[in-house]
Structure 1
């Protein structure tokens, strides 16, 4: 009988997408992986296979770049996959899919955690709360090992939630730099976070 009551959760950002390659503000615009992104996902799966990593369930964003990354990993590790829209990237409204030189609106002079990104998107506070719901949905399950394949913006807010950091004006506060296929592990021990570790495969460059 498994008497371990801890939750072991690994957050990983998707591999390089076409939007990354073209330097676009992706948000919830749906870009596929590039060949490099697929190779990054395979490298991550290979690393975890060699380390004997095991997960009870993989939960992924439905956006192509995350879903495809997850599919590559779960095939290699023989892990069931569940799609959950709570782990979609921040909705950045009218900025979705645009390059910086295509943006024709000025950034607000004062950004608060309540300011909607791209006029019609989510605020950072809304993403923070959504990330918290995503984490709670995992903790409502039985203890085990969970893999979440998602996006840099919401994974930052997930770590804010775990570490009890609240979003601040003008994006002040720490930024956790999730490069493509960077991952973060945390262990939840019933009433507190026991550890947080961040790493990435050698082959991941951005």
Structure 2
């Protein structure tokens, strides 16, 4: 009898290209900034790289926010992929911080000496624990699908917490602990073997198609 080996999930986590909010150094959150021309060029450069590399994806899933959606649309069009929009992959709701520069945010909202993961952000926005739980929900929803090659186009804050969920690392007080860098159009590649509940992380913050990304 031939044993059929269960298939793993192949998951690529991609941050959007440079947005107007990035270029203006604003805390974007769920404020809806479009891509800059540089951001569009970054997305096209990544698509060309994946063409050369013969990268394979079965489905693209993207946040509905403009900067992620437009990045996903460029890549999906260039690689002839199906695109699905899912709001669970949106960036953190950062409340009244949305659209402000760091200086404006500090002036309007003096920072407390000590914070916990359960505190709100920007008034009533998602704190670290709430964002971590949503990241876990997004990951759980993905893993309830059939094993396949998924490209997720999302945001740095949410993807950071997805990585924490993968590793089983809960948010810490005062934002202590590890963080995971995602530059513009940088991506991580992971595999999940459901029959073993085993993760492998093959790439992290890969942006070799665009050297000067933040």
Q: Taking structure 1 as the reference length, what is the TM-score of the superposition? A: 0.96
Partner of 1:88: 90
Return the offset for 1:185: 0.5
Find the residue that maps to 1:98 and give its secondary structure.
coil
Return the offset for 1:4: 5.1
User: What is the aligned-residue RMSD (CA, Å)?
Assistant: 1.2
Q: 1:200 aligns with which of 202, 207, 213?
A: 207
Return the offset for 1:202: 3.3
Larger radius of gyration: 2
Q: Distance in 1 between matches of 2:67 and 2:74?
A: 11
Q: Is the 8 A contact 2:188 2:201 kept in 1?
A: no
Partner of 1:39: 41
Q: Is the 8 A contact 1:181 1:201 kept in 2?
A: no
Return the offset for 1:64: 0.1
Structure 2: state its 5+ residue gaps: none
Dislocated runs of 4+, deviation >3 Å: none
Find the residue that maps to 1:90 and give its secondary structure.
coil
Find the residue that maps to 1:44 and give its secondary structure.
helix
Find the residue that maps to 1:12 and give its secondary structure.
strand
Find the residue that maps to 1:175 and give its secondary structure.
coil
Question: Map of 1:24-173 to 2, 5 A cutoff?
Answer: 24-103=26-105, 104-173=108-177
Return the offset for 1:37: 0.2
Q: Is the 8 A contact 1:47 1:201 kept in 2?
A: no
Q: Taking structure 2 as the reference length, what is the TM-score of the superposition? A: 0.93
Return the offset for 1:3: 5.7
Structure 1: state its 5+ residue gaps: none
Q: Is the 8 A contact 2:46 2:209 kept in 1?
A: no
Q: Distance in 2 between matches of 1:194 and 1:37?
A: 29
For residues 126-159 of structure 1, the C-alpha deviation after alignment (integer angstroms, 9 at most, x for no partner) is 1111011111111101111000000000000000
Find the residue that maps to 2:183 and give its secondary structure.
coil
